[in-house]
Structure formats: C-alpha cells, structure tokens
Structure 1
Amino acid sequence: MDLTVPRRHGPVSIRLVRQRDARVLQNELLANREWLQPWEATSPDGPVSFDMKLGVRRLLQQYRDGAGVPFVMEYGGEVAGQLNVWGISRGSLASATIGYWVGRRFAGRGITPVSVALATDICFSELRIHRMEICIRPENQASLRVVEKLGFRYEGLRRRFIHIDGDWRDHYAFALVREDVPEGVLQRWVAGRVPQDAATIPPSDRLHA
C-alpha cells in the first residue's frame, strides 16, 4: 500500500500529504479565510497555530503512528484542499472519521464527493477499517449534499459535539460500514445505485439542531 501514489477518478485525485505541500496549503487557507472559517475546528483553550509546516509535520506523525491518514485533494494536478482521515481505532471498533476542506475557487466541481468516495474505499479495502463516519454542522449545506450523493446513512444528532468557529456546535452524524458497499463507494455512486433516502434527517432532529 503506497498512499503517496495518487488515486484518481477523472480530474480528481487524492494522495498522502507531503511536507513540501505546506506552503501551497497555507496560501490556499489564507486566501479562503472568509469561505472556510465558519466550518473550521477551533479550540476552547485558545488560538490554534496556523503554521502549516508544523501542521503537516504533525499529520504525518499521526500517519506513522497509525492514528490518521492526511490526504491532499487535487483537481487537474492542482492542490484544491485537504481530506483527513482521523481518529482511527483498531481492534473491535475498527473505525475512523473523515474531515475535509476545499478552496472556494474549486467549489462545484465534484471534488469533495469524489475524494470522500476514494478515501472511504481506501479505508475499507486497504486499511481494513470497518466503519467510516462524517459529522456535519446542520448549516453546512454543501457538506450535507456530499453525504446525500454518496449514500452515507444518517445516524443521529450530536449535541455541542465539536468546537467550530469559536463555540461548541451541534453536528449530524453519518456513517457507512464496509458491508454497505461491497462494490465500493465510488463504484456504487458512478453506477447510480446510491439509496436515495439514506442521508435523510428526521424532522425532529432538524427542529432541535
């Protein structure tokens, strides 16, 4: 398994982040502050470092430790954003969570759903993870469309779950297990076999979020 080799579908690809990606990622983050800030993880303990060299170093250490897999998303060979598989648990749980961001100029090109599908397939088939989760703020319509397209199953409302943009925010939780997609997430989507109601959020949860 060599995750430095890009996995592709059309013009979209994902690969393991490299230390030399730090500058272009930092430039993209700085250029997209207004676009990304409402969805960015923060810390109740104070400001988080914006040093991407340090950030990439830490992400790669987590990868070496088996705790996460930090991917870069590319479109036509150009860095478009990041996708991180984090919180990897082994043993009887065998689960992980996906988080991502994409630059505004790349929005609307299908980069995120393709990347999430590619990353989930890697986790299921190569990393032997059993369950993949994505947690999304109720206000994040773009991310909700991603789980709808890919057929992630809605699993419930998590109250004040993650510290985002300066406060604890509610999140909707979505997940897939390996048995849900024996043909793979990407292949199921491309073939038009995604369940249409899998990501449907009950009205009661929409009311309380």
Structure 2
Amino acid sequence: MDTLDRSHGDVSIRLVRPRDARVLEYELATNRSWLVPWEATNPDGAVSMDMRAGIRRLLQQHRDGAGVPFVMEHQRSVAGQLNVWGIARGSLSSATIGYWVSQRFAGRGITPTAVALATDACFQMLGLHRMEICIRPENAPSIRVVEKLGFRYEGYRRRYIHINGDWRDHYAFALTREDAPEGVLRRFVEGRAPEEAARVPERDRPHLA
C-alpha cells in the first residue's frame, strides 16, 4: 500500500492506477448531468477525454511532486476522484483539493471522510502546512463538506475557475495544520469540527442568488 493511501470504515482513498481508466470513464459517462455544472473546462476549447492519457498525466505530476491523484472508494467500489493539485513547497507549503463523486454514492458521507483522509495525508506525510478548497456558491453539497470538516471561510474569488464553459465565482475555504493538530479525520469523527468556521458572511451571501 502506498504511504498516502488511507481508509476509515467503508471509505478509502488510494493513488489512481492506469487500470482505473475504464471504471472512471463509465462513472463520468453515466453521471454527465450530475457533474457537468461543477466540471472544470478549458477556456481555449475542448480537451481530450482520453482517461488513460489523463491518468498518465496525473501520475507524472505526482512523480514530479506537483499533485496527488486519488480515487475515492466505498466498500472497495470506485465512487469518484479526489485530486490534490498545485502543491507548493518552501515558504508557502500548500495545495488545493478538488473532487467529484458519482451520484449513486452521494449522501453517504464519502466525500467529507475522503477529504479528511487526504488532508491528513498531506499534513502528515507530505509535510504541507495549508490545504484549500474552492467551491462555487451554488454548490450547496460541497459547502456542506467544508462545514462538516471545519474548514475556515477565507473569501470570495470572482471569476476564479473556468467551470462548465465560463469563468465562475468561488468561495475559498482552508485549513492549516495548527487548526487540527490531532488530525482532521479524528476531529470530524469525534464531532469537534467547528462548523461555524465555514460560515459565509452576510456580505457575500447575495452571490448565492
């Protein structure tokens, strides 16, 4: 098992493998209407949907130290992907988390558990100091994930990421190692994550309309 692989109960995360291409292609194809509103796109035009090539690129980024491409599993069935990307070392020592989960696995607590596992792996094994998650204001289920884990709301980013064909506004949430010295997963499981930390202030709430 790779040292970054983690599990808790029925949920596990592990490095993506080339042989995952077929199941990931199937999940993406059968969840198009579910995923398209939140899916990153290229402002310069369509990109290849070759999953095998995509996995090779992700694994090369991992070897280069720029990211960690995980698959999320529930009872050993692939439920989605979780990517740690934009790893910065030195004085910044941070990274960003992005993820998607198949609709048939939604509502089972898979995503918050997987995000907690990945954040702990990055803090404990990679020695990173800060993890960030950026979420569209309209994406209530993802906002609920950061609330459950006690990620701190850090601000509103206008036209930040190209999603579903246009530049979209995002909320930024983050955690540092000092926020959960006992571990993000443990704090979550024990019900001690401060949900109010992720609360969006009133000045930014009109953007939800």
TM range (shorter): over 0.9
The answer to whether the Cα contact below 8 Å between 1:38 and 1:165 also exists between their aligned partners in 2 is: yes
Q: Distance in 2 between matches of 1:186 and 1:157?
A: 26
Aligned residue for 1:163, secondary structure, equals strand
Q: How does 1:1-209 map to 2 (within 5 A)?
A: 2-3=2-3, 6-208=5-207
1:54-74, Cα deviation, whole Å (9 max, x unpaired) = 110000000000000000000
Aligned partner letter, 2:130: R
Aligned residue for 2:196, secondary structure, equals coil
Aligned residue for 2:204, secondary structure, equals helix
Q: Distance in 2 between matches of 1:51 and 1:87?
A: 22
Deviation at 1:49, TM superposition (A): 1.4
The answer to whether the Cα contact below 8 Å between 2:149 and 2:195 also exists between their aligned partners in 1 is: no
Deviation at 1:191, TM superposition (A): 1.1
Deviation at 1:112, TM superposition (A): 0.2
Deviation at 1:204, TM superposition (A): 0.9
Q: How many residues align?
A: 208
Aligned residue for 2:7, secondary structure, equals strand
The TM-score, its normalising length taken from structure 1, stands at 0.97
Aligned partner letter, 2:12: S
Aligned partner letter, 2:39: E
Q: Distance in 2 between matches of 1:170 and 1:20?
A: 35
Off by >2 Å, runs of 4+ in structure 1: 1-4
Q: Distance in 2 between matches of 1:192 and 1:110?
A: 14
Task: List gaps (5 residues or longer) in structure 1.
Answer: none
The answer to whether the Cα contact below 8 Å between 2:137 and 2:207 also exists between their aligned partners in 1 is: no
Q: Distance in 1 between matches of 2:43 and 2:195?
A: 38
Give the RMSD, CA atoms, in angstroms.
1.1
Deviation at 1:208, TM superposition (A): 3.8
Q: Distance in 1 between matches of 2:195 and 2:162?
A: 31
Aligned partner letter, 1:96: A
Deviation at 1:3, TM superposition (A): 4.0
Aligned partner letter, 1:158: R
The answer to whether the Cα contact below 8 Å between 2:2 and 2:14 also exists between their aligned partners in 1 is: no
The answer to whether the Cα contact below 8 Å between 1:3 and 1:15 also exists between their aligned partners in 2 is: no
The answer to whether the Cα contact below 8 Å between 2:150 and 2:198 also exists between their aligned partners in 1 is: yes
1:77-120, Cα deviation, whole Å (9 max, x unpaired) = 00000000000000000000000000000001111000000000
Aligned residue for 2:133, secondary structure, equals strand
Aligned partner letter, 2:2: D
Q: Distance in 2 between matches of 1:102 and 1:127?
A: 24
The TM-score, its normalising length taken from structure 2, stands at 0.97
Identical aligned residues as a percent: 74
1:128-157, Cα deviation, whole Å (9 max, x unpaired) = 000000000000011000000000000000
Task: List gaps (5 residues or longer) in structure 2.
Answer: none
Q: Distance in 1 between matches of 2:161 and 2:148?
A: 24
Q: Distance in 1 between matches of 2:207 and 2:138?
A: 13
Deviation at 1:207, TM superposition (A): 1.5
